[in-house]
Amino acid sequence: MDMQATAASASGANERAVARYRNDFLREVEERVEEGHWVKMCMQCGVCAGSCPFGAHWEHSPQKIFMMIRAGKREEVLTSDSTFMCTSCYSCIVRCPRKLPITHIMHGLANYAHRLGLAPKNQPTREFATIFWNNLARKGRINELKLTLSIYFKDGFVAGIRTGLTMKSIGLGLMKAKRLNPMELVGGHAVKDLKGFQAIIAKAREIEDRKKGFSS
């Protein structure tokens, strides 16, 4: 699917979600976001915000995100980069007095925003995750060389060359340690049953699309 078709599909899905859940963002999150049904259990104690090692660097803490969801601030939540800032340290889950799966909710919100086409453009975590997933989905295994090149050249040819020259000592070290194989550029290793793997991915996407309203 090309970028225009993907954008059109995301836009259509967003319009359908707005129409169905008008003025009830909490219900939308409960039904369409991973572990979203836990949001209403947040008692706003602030332990998650105080426990997060990255909390001082983002706009909205999980505590604030959950209150914004309850308040119906759909656009503010889904266009914020705060949900992409989670580093999965799980400190919030460990310390939450109600044991909310906060990390999973934050990742779920980020994924939902991405699928709707509302996530911030050029958000680095989103960009890396997308590149990583597309690399993995092709052969069922990560092609380290193509992954590295995709990241280096995502901002253009000149930027890619500059980054490559800056990182050349690390690249040579990886090649010497046989962790980076130049021959991966022309093919790359794959899982034994590639068709089976792709069928699993397609079925999982079908189930997710149906659950999140991306298909009828």
- Are residues 31 and 137 part of one domain? no
Q: Which of 87, 120, 153 is the last residue of a domain?
A: 120
Helix (H, G, I), strand (E, B) or coil at 91: helix
- Are residues 200 and 140 part of one domain? yes
Domain membership flag for residue 213 = no
What is the mean predicted confidence (pLDDT) over 34-38?
A: 94
pLDDT tens for each residue of 96-121 = 999 999 999 999 999 999 999 999 98
- Structural domain range at position 21: 3-120
Domain membership flag for residue 59 = yes
pLDDT of residue 99: 94
Torsion of CA 27, 29, 32, 38, to 10 degrees: -100
CA distances from 132 to 24, 58, 142, 151, 209 (A): 34, 23, 8, 9, 20
Q: Which of 101, 120, 139 is the last residue of a domain?
A: 120
Could you give the CA distance from residue 107 to residue 113 in angstroms, rounded to a whole number?
10
**Number of compact structural domains in the chain:** 2
φ, ψ at 190 (rounded to 5°): -140, 165
pLDDT of residue 97: 95
Nearest to 140 by CA among 87, 196, 98: 196
The total of other beta-carbon atoms located within 10 Å of residue 22's CB is 11
Domain membership flag for residue 70 = yes
Residue 28 contacts residue 21 (beta carbons within 8 Å): yes
- Are residues 25 and 42 part of one domain? yes
pLDDT tens for each residue of 66-96 = 999 999 999 999 999 999 989 899 999 999 9
* Residue 176 vs residue 8, higher pLDDT: 176
